[in-house]
Homo-oligomer: A and B are copies of this chain.
Amino acid sequence: MTEVIQPTSPEVTQVNQKVRQSYDAFKAKGWKLNLTRGKPSSSQLDLSAELLALPKVADYIAEDGTDCRNYGNLQGLAEARKLFSGMMGAAPEHVVVANNASLALMHDTVVFSLLKGTCDSATPWSKQGEVAFLCPVPGYDRHFTICESFGIRMIPVALREDGPDMKEVERLVAQDASIKGMWCVPKYSNPTGTVYSDAVIERLAAMKTVAADFRLYWDIAYTVHHLTEEQIEIANVLELCARHGHPNRAFVFASTSKITLAGAGLSMFAGSKENVKWLLARFTPQTIGPDKINQLRHVRFLKDEAGILRLMDRHRALITPKFQKVLDIFDKKLAGIPDVTWTRPKGGYFISLDVPKGCARRVIALAKEAGVELTPAGAPFPYGKDSEDRTIRIAPTFPELSEVAQAAEGVALCVLLATAEKRPK
């Protein structure tokens, strides 16, 4: 991947030598740093410590008299559905609360659609020939893995400042009946932090699709995960879909993985009456019900929507300095470097760093050599292929602040070195 350095002038040579020296010095320190993991830090998890002793030995009856310890209740506890109703943008009867992984809800709705069809499908997707999903890029690798796993063709579409390239999206869904779905992280998108504009959301809700059973996989993973005081709100996709005559178009997914405990939280689904009915019918052969004790535990701990927002403020206090540190270091070290840009997310878990074409792999390799683990190049793209080899996902939440700083310094040095190596002859 490397090219022979062919400096154009003694000045450039000198700068390059300095970069190389700094990199070597950094590397010599033998760091073991990791910016790959979009997961909460130990301090963030401590914020929900109370959960580990809840609901308490005599507390297991739900408000409707359900014994939460026993079987049953496919849709989830009424009080849990009420708790997340605001976040999900849907009335409690349109919300389903399930076990710990929203990824499982997304995976399983794809699987159910393949084997059984949606409530609007004439036949199961798997009987309709090729199935394709639109994938705004860069995006979330685990969305793409679901498609890849089941042979669903992924069609990348560019993610712009205000969301996916709608002209392209509208063109594709209007002509290709095999396009059955689209992955969307409409708020504080992984990895760019992009927030879809209300206009984009309305176009997604209104657009004509050849496939009658087209679905927006609307993953609001970061809906209350603000990094600034701004606390952006976006348009309600369920309402807009209904208003535009496509009430069943959106499947909305969320979880408390980055609110309470990443491995032991709750997942949520919201959709139209028909979609909820469909999902519960698909759940019927799969389970007798979700873990209602964990739902009660969360209700007792979070209490209400205000409780969720208060908790998110405390996360913000822990996370924002880490993002700020990365941005400060990038500003200081990388400002003005041609074709090097990065996002300044107002929420979510990631910063997306773009380097000159053909440099991302090299930066990641240099970082690894120097003890800084980064997400593999290409991860935010379908099939793991970043055709321009440009985009690097930075996840600053998990390490301690001091480690984030060191890692960001290291990444900046690697970008400088990789771009120096690439400098035009």
Distance in angstroms from A306 CB to nearest chain B CB is: 23
Nearest Cβ distance between residue A173 and chain B, in whole angstroms? 24
Binary B-proximity of A30-54 (CB < 8 A = 1, otherwise 0)? 0000000001101001001110111
Alpha-carbon separation in the docked complex, A108 to B287 (Å): 10
Within 8 A of B (CB), among A49-101: 49-50, 52-60, 67-73, 99-101
Contact of A291 among B72, B149, B287, B291 (CB under 8 A): B291
Q: Which residues of B contact A101 (CB under 8 A)?
A: 286-289
Q: Are A69 and B45 in contact (CB under 8 A)?
A: yes
Mask: chain A, 2-16; 1 = CB below 8 Å from B; 0 = not? 000000000000000
What's the least CB distance linking A288 to chain B, in Å?
Answer: 6
Task: Indicate whether A174 reaches chain B with its CB closer than 8 angstroms.
Answer: no
A53, A72, A103, A284: residue with the most chain B Cβ atoms closer than 10 Å: A53
A40 partner residues in chain B, CB cutoff 8 A: 70
A99 — which chain B residues lie within 8 A by C-beta? 99-100, 291
A225 within 8 A of B: no
The contact of A104 among B100, B116, B286, B294, by CB within 8 Å, is B286
Binary interface profile of A, 287-301, with partner B (CB < 8 Å = 1, else 0)? 111111110000000
Q: Which residues of chain B have C-beta atoms less than 8 A from A54's C-beta? A: 52-53
Stretch in A205-213, A244-252, A259-267 with 4+ CB within 8 Å of B: A259-267
Q: A100-B99, A284-B145, A287-B104 are in contact. Are A293 and B263 (CB under 8 A)?
A: yes
A48 CB → nearest B CB, Å: 8
A146 interfacial by beta-carbon distance below 8 Å: yes
Which of A50, A55, A148, A284 lies at the interface centre, i.e. has the most chain B CB atoms within 10 A of its CB? A284
CB distance from A263 to the nearest CB of B (A): 5
B-side contacts of A320, CB under 8 Å: none
In the complex, what residues of B have CB within 8 A of residue A73's CB? 263
CB distance from A28 to the nearest CB of B (A): 29
Taken together as a complex, chains A and B put the C-alpha atoms of A106 and B339 apart, in Å, by: 51
Asked if residues A285 and B60 are in contact (CB atoms below 8 Å), the reply is no
A155 within 8 A of B: no
Task: Output the nearest chain B residue to A108 by Cβ-Cβ distance.
Answer: B286
Question: CB < 8 Å: which of B55, B56, B263, B293 contacts A71?
Answer: B263
Q: Which of B50, B57, B70, B107 contacts A285 (CB 8 A)?
A: B107
CB 8 Å contact bits of A220-237 with B (1 = contact, 0 = none): 000000000000000000
- Which residues of A (113-146) have their CB < 8 Å from a CB of B? 114-116, 126, 142, 145-146
Whether A58 contacts B49 in the complex (CB less than 8 A), given A99-B291, A285-B107, A289-B263, comes out as yes
9 intermolecular pairs with C-beta atoms under 8 Å apart: A40-B70, A48-B69, A52-B58, A53-B53, A101-B288, A103-B286, A104-B286, A114-B115, A263-B293
